[in-house]
Amino acid sequence: MSYEIKQDGKFRFIEEGEGETLVLLHGLFGALSNFSDLIEYFRNKNKVVVPLLPLLELDLLHTSVGGLQKFVNRFIEQRNYRDIHLLGNSLGGHVALVHILKNPERIKSLILTGSSGLFENGMGDTYPKRGDREYIRNKTAITFYDPRMATDELVNEVFEITNNRIKAIKIIALAKSAIRNNLGEEISQIKQPTCLIWGNNDTITPPFVGKEFHRLIPNSELHFIDKCGHAPMMEVPEEFNKILEGFLAKLKSPAATV
């Protein structure tokens, strides 16, 4: 399914459907395809918004978690979204966490899946390695429980990024920024209802990370999905969507609590 990419000033984004706003933030090697099943399911219930994050377009000084958060904040203000359900995967979850801590007023709920911010088993100290497609294939495959999810198309996307010197430098800068920007006990300040959806076989942000987020975020619920890695919304979309739908349904009541 392809969607119209809209433009508002310097911001490019997808906006599908009507209803409460569901904003999706992708990860370090993320793309719109990561959310295709989620968009298709929730566009009939929500206004689903996916900003194209400038992971490789910011100047090097601002190529960081903080730089991306500022971009997201400007985007939300430009579009004047309110009562947002903010969902982030991997690095996108980290950006969502920083955003809700700095600018909580427009956020109704938070959804994290495979989020960095506490611990991330990154891609290893040697990543990204240029010029070795098989290395990239193996590194892409460990994102998933089922290595067949690392399709040729996905591997080629990652390979193209890592084989470009400037892009590779920016990817490394973002990965290092995520490691440095450890939120720790700070996230206990989050007041919004929070849904944590984690793959039981996530090797990048393992299950104990989801448990630690659950311990630290006061108003949170934690769901594990078996036979699932770092990107549940891609690998097991039906189960992911069912959990998310249930969480959002509970928030329909003004007095709802998780």
DSSP string, 198-249: EETT-SSS-HHHHHHHHHHSTTEEEEEESS--S-HHHHSHHHHHHHHHHHHH
Mean pLDDT of the chain: 87
Q: Residue ranges per domain, the chain?
A: 6-121+182-250
pLDDT at 200: 97
Tokens 């992708």, located at residue: 26
Strand, coil or helix: 110: strand
User: What CATH code is assigned to 6-121+182-250?
Assistant: 3.40.50.1820
User: What whole-number distance in Å separates Cα of residue 191 and Cα of residue 162?
Assistant: 38
pLDDT per residue as tens digits for the range 20-57 = 999 999 987 766 778 999 999 999 999 999 999 887 77
pLDDT at residue 4 above 80? yes
pLDDT at residue 150 above 90? no
Residues 193 and 258: beta-carbon distance below 8 Å? yes
pLDDT per residue as tens digits for the range 89-138 = 999 999 999 999 999 999 999 999 999 998 765 544 444 455 577 777 77
